[in-house]
Chains A and B, each alone.
Chain A
Amino acid sequence: MSTQRSRKANDQDANIKKLVKFIENLGSARTVDDVMVRIRAELKNFARVKEPILAFADAHHRLRLTFYQKGSIHEKTVTAGWSRRPDIRFNDVKDSQYLANIFGRPFARLLAIPIRSRRRRSDQKSKADGVLYLEHSLKKEEVATFLKFIEDRVEAMSSALDRLFLEQQLKDSSLMWERTFDSLQDPVAIFGSDGEILRANRAFSEQLANLSVDGLFDETIQHDGREYEVHSYPISVGHTDRPSNTISHYIDVTRSTRLKKQLMQGEKMAALGQLAGHIAHELNNPLTGIRSMAQLLIPQAPEGTNLKSDLIEAEIAAERCQKIITNLREFSTAGFEQKQIRVDLNDIVTKTLSLLNSLTRRFELIVELSSSEVPIFVEPHLTQQVIFNIVKNACEAMTDSGQLVVKTYAAKDNSGESIAAVSIEDSGPGIAPELREKVFEFFFTTKAVGEGTGLGLSMSRSIVERFGGRIEFDSTIGKGTTFRVLLPLEVSE
């Protein structure tokens, strides 16, 4: 008796140790597969129990089956309904049929052990979240021992799976949140109460990462050649309503700001153009009279007298005024009637140069156009007029011979903005340092009376600014001058 009793006690001890070991093993499981490996090892004690099949519902209420096939773990997801009964079933025909349908082979004898998550386990009757199916060929006398063995372990297995499912859910939802955050094309960041960045999305790291934190809360910020509108909202964290974090959303308004500026500049130019047009018309009539009168009187004035030379002077002056008026009028009519469209700067340059053939013929002309399209958003005729004016100036600067180099290219300017450029380089005398400030002034000219109106560059500048661009130049006395027209590059379609 005593030996029997102690043997039984020893057996019990050994069983409990095994159970503890199993529970410990399950605790270290990181994946469902790990759990499967441990359950399978545990079942090795029973030669008549086959490989385990674990089924549990995923977030989308589909049944995920993990099972062994030829010694390795496989997975299968099915949508077919399954029994969520909370009781352990022994050789239930319904369970056998269910697995037979899924695996396409008969399951003779089956033990179905429901697995329930913690929140359900307190209530005996609540439904199962998963089932551990064990196919077996146990003898009658083995069944009781095996059931006891399983009952001892159900709780541990449920806990382990429960923990893994929870972890998985957390991972899934945080991944989804992260992906959503990163898919936003605008920079978004979450700041803590001290202004420190807690989280930031990909766009933020790419576009604004190296921005100093001071600037991050202004209403608009400029960074890397781009302009952002900042929208900030409080986030309350924890249980208080007092907001402690801030989420800031940065909207890139570079393009719309540019368009707005262009529009404003365009309106100004239109108004100026109309005014110029009116003035031109008003002045044109009396000037026609003055000039005609001078022309009439010149032949009547005696040869060699002051009267004659004075009249000639007056006629020349009137002619100059008329040229100015013609220029103004061209600018005004072209200025506000035409529309901006997307064009290739290369085409504009080519067309303009063909118009200027007679002028450029005297010089060595080198044209280097960008091999790919240089798209800009402008009014083509006005843009042609700008290039026309600058090439004409270059030719006029080189009196008899020289070299004219015209290039187009796309580049980034100092602020990182993509620009389209055309450069016009001459080998003329250059522009004296004291005149450099003046060349863009209205009516500034160094050309002989009647030859230049001094409107070429000033109008060109107005036109280019209207399209959001600018004109710059370098000049070396005795060597030549390079003018560059820089325009915003249109994003290619």
Chain B
Amino acid sequence: MNVLIVDDEALICRSLMRAFESRGHTVRTASDGIQGLATWREWPPDVALVDVLMPGLTGPQLLEKIESANTAQIILMSAYTGDFDLKRAEELGAHLFLAKPFANIFEVVERAEKLVKNKAHEG
């Protein structure tokens, strides 16, 4: 599947990319919201992992912009657990919320795969 990772923390982008690639997926990364939006439009992913707080365009702002034509499963990620939860994320159009730090990066990959698989079943 095609995976888009939008996060301003380079190491997170890289590690997620490696983890997804190690399971045979195709990955593109973006280091801020604006770049993320551009990639999304040009290369619609099956699943997008989007950080909440980013310079330029925040995660929620990015979701607002792509929502209409979207077919991807969306995972919002944040280090600010206090003011965020699944309910908020769903209101913004996301399908899953992940709090940072991740206990295990492979688990993130598994959960993304599951989302896409479930969607395929439904669709």
Q: Which residues of A contact B (CB under 8 A)?
A: 281, 284-293, 295-296, 322, 325, 329, 333
Q: Are A296 and B100 in contact (CB under 8 A)?
A: no
Whether B15 lies near A293 (C-beta < 8 A) is: yes
B10 within 8 A of partner (CB) = yes
**When the two chains form the complex, which single residue of B79, B80, B81, B105 contacts A292, counting CB atoms closer than 8 Å?**
B105
Segment 20-55 of B: residues with Cβ below 8 Å from A: 22
Known: A281-B79, A284-B79, A333-B82. A296 touches B12 (CB 8 A): no
CB-based contact B16/A292 at 8 Å: yes
Contact of B22 among A289, A290, A296, A329 (CB under 8 A): A296
- Which 8 pairs from chain A and chain B are nearest by CB? A289-B11, A292-B15, A292-B105, A284-B79, A288-B101, A285-B9, A293-B15, A289-B12
User: Separation in Å of the A203 CB from the closest CB of chain B?
Assistant: 50
Q: In the complex, which residues of chain B have a beta carbon less than 8 angstroms from the beta carbon of A322? A: 101
**Chain B, Cβ-Cβ closest to A280:** B79
- What is the bound-complex CA distance between A281 and B11, given in angstroms? 16
In the bound complex, CA of A284 to CA of B82 (Å): 14
- Collect the chain B residues with CB atoms within 8 Å of residue A284's CB: 79, 100-101
A-B interface pairs (CB < 8 A), number: 54
A291–B82 CA distance with the chains assembled, in angstroms:
22
* Main SS class of interface, B: helix
B17 to chain A: closest residue by CB: A296
B11 touches A286 (CB 8 A): yes
Chain B residue with minimal CB distance to A322?
A: B101
Contact at B82–A292, with CB atoms within 8 Å? no
Q: Provide a sorted-by-A list of 24 A–B residue pairs whose CB atoms are within 8 angstroms.
A: A281-B79, A284-B101, A285-B9, A287-B101, A288-B11, A288-B12, A288-B100, A288-B101, A289-B9, A289-B11, A289-B12, A290-B11, A291-B102, A291-B105, A292-B15, A292-B19, A292-B102, A293-B14, A295-B15, A296-B15, A296-B18, A296-B19, A322-B101, A325-B101
* Distance to closest chain A CB from B13 (angstroms): 8
Which of A287, A292, A296, A329: most chain B Cβ within 10 A? A292
Say whether B10 contacts A289, CB under 8 Å.
yes
Contact A295 B106 (CB under 8 A): yes
Inter-chain CA distance A287–B79, complex, in Å, is 11
Q: How many Å from the CB of A334 to the closest CB on chain B?
A: 10
Which residues on the B side are within 8 Å of A289 (C-beta)? 9-12, 14-15
Known A295-B106, A322-B101; judge A285-B79 contact (CB<8 A): yes
Q: Which residues 45-97 of B sit at the A interface, judged by CB distance below 8 A? A: 79-82
B118 CB-CB contact with A under 8 Å: no
Query: Quick one: closest A residue to B10, CB to CB?
Result: A289
**Considering only CB atoms and an 8 Å cut-off, how many residues of chain B contact the other chain?**
20
The DSSP consensus for interface residues of chain A is helix
**Assembly CA distance A329 to B78 (angstroms):** 14
CB B16 to nearest CB in A, in angstroms, measures 7
Residue of B nearest to A291 (CB): B101
Contact: A286 with B9, CB < 8 Å? yes
Residues of B within 8 Å of A291, CB to CB, are: 101-102, 105
Q: Which residues of B contact A290 (CB under 8 A)?
A: 11
Q: In the complex, what distance in Å separates the CA atom of A293 from the CA atom of B80?
A: 21
Residues of B within 8 A of A329 (CB): 81-82
Kindly provide the distance from the CB of B19 to the nearest chain A CB, expressed in whole angstroms: 6
CB-based contact A285/B15 at 8 Å: no
When distances are taken between beta carbons in the complex, the residues of chain B under 8 Å from A287 are 101
B4 to chain A, nearest CB (A): 17
Residues of A within 8 A of B101 (CB): 284, 287-288, 291, 322, 325
Residues of chain A lying within 8 A (CB to CB) of residue B16:
292
Smallest CB-CB separation from B105: which chain A residue? A292
Please name the residue on chain B nearest to A289 by beta carbon: B11
Distance A325 CA – B100 CA, assembled complex (angstroms) = 11
How long is the Cα–Cα vector from A322 to B99 in the complex, in angstroms?
Answer: 12
How far, in angstroms, from A333 to B79 measured CA to CA in the complex?
13
What's the Cα separation between A325 and B81 when bound, in Å? 12
Bound state CA distance, A287 and B101, in angstroms? Answer: 8
Q: Among A285, A293, A295, point to the contact of B100 (Cβ < 8 A).
A: A285
The residue in chain B whose Cβ has the minimal distance to the Cβ of A333 is B82
Given the complex of chains A and B, what is the CA–CA distance between A29 and B5 in angstroms?
110
Chain B residue with the shortest CB-CB distance to A337: B82
Residues of B within 8 A of A292 (CB): 11-12, 15-16, 19, 102, 105
Q: Are A285 and B82 in contact (CB under 8 A)?
A: no
CA distance A322 to B100 in the complex (A): 10
A293 touches B79 (CB 8 A): no
Q: Which residue of A lies closest to B21 (CB)?
A: A296
A145 to B9, CA, bound (A): 126
Residues of A within 8 A of B104 (CB): 295
